[in-house]
Amino acid sequence: MKQITEPEMLHKAASYCSTAERCIQDVQKKIDAAGLPPEAGERIIARLLKEKFIDEERFARSFVNDKLRFNKWGRIKIAYELHKKGISPSIRSEALATIDSTEYRTIILSLLKDKKKTVKGKDERELFNKLLRFAAGRGFESNETIKCLQQLFKGNDYAEDFE
C-alpha cells in the first residue's frame, strides 16, 4: 500500500472537515489511521486549527444542537459524549448553556408522551418509574423529567419515592 504524504493528508483532512463540524479527536483518528508520524499529525492539526477548519467551540455548539434536536438526547448524555470526544469542560458547559429550556422541556414531554403509549405497567406508579428510567437513559436530568411526568400524570406525585 502506498504511504500517504503529509500534504496529501492535509488536503484529505481539510476536505473531511469541510463536510461537517469535526473535533480534534475525530481528525486525529483519521491521521493515525493513515499511518503518519505523530509530528506530522500535530502539524496538520495545527494548520487546520489556524485556518479554522477545526473549531472546538463551533463543533460543541453544533453537536449540542444536533443531538438535542435530532437524537433527542438530554444534557447529561450530550455532556458525556462531548467529554468522550476530548472537549474541554469550559467549552462543554458553554455549549450546553445554549440549550433553550422551553424547547428542552417540550422535547422531554413529547418523548414521554410517545413512550407512555407503548409502555405497560401494572399501575400508574410503575409506569411513572419506567418513564423516569427511560428519560434517564436518554440523558435527561431527573428533576426536569419528574416535572414533565407530573404534568403528564396530571399532578399525581410519584416523585416522592425518589426524594
pLDDT digits (tens, 9 = 90+) for 42-97: 999 999 999 999 999 999 999 999 999 999 999 999 999 999 999 999 999 999 99
Kindly state whether residues 113 and 154 are assigned to the same domain.
yes
* Residue range 9-23: mean pLDDT, rounded: 96
Residue tagged 406508579 (cell numbers): 125
What total of structural domains would you count in the chain?
A: 3
Q: 139 with 122, same domain?
A: yes
Residue 87: predicted pLDDT: 97
Region 4-19: what's the mean pLDDT?
94
- Mean local confidence (pLDDT), 130-153: 94
137 with 92, same domain: the answer is no
pLDDT band at 159 (very low <50, low <70, confident <90, very high): low
Residues 6+ apart with CB under 8 A from 157: 150
**Whether residue 110 is found in the same domain as residue 155:** yes
Q: Are 63 and 81 a contacting pair, CB within 8 Å? A: yes
For the residues 94-104, what does the mean pLDDT come to?
96
Could you tell me the residue range of the domain that residue 108 belongs to? 101-162
Q: Is 126 part of any domain?
A: yes
Show the cell assigned to 149: 411526568
Please tell me whether residues 107 and 157 are part of one structural domain. Answer: yes
Instruction: Supply the pLDDT for residue 163.
Output: 47
Quick check: is 1 in a domain? Answer: no
Query: Considering Cα of 29, then 35, then 38, then 43, what sign does the dihedral take?
Result: negative
Residue 130 pLDDT exceeds 80: yes
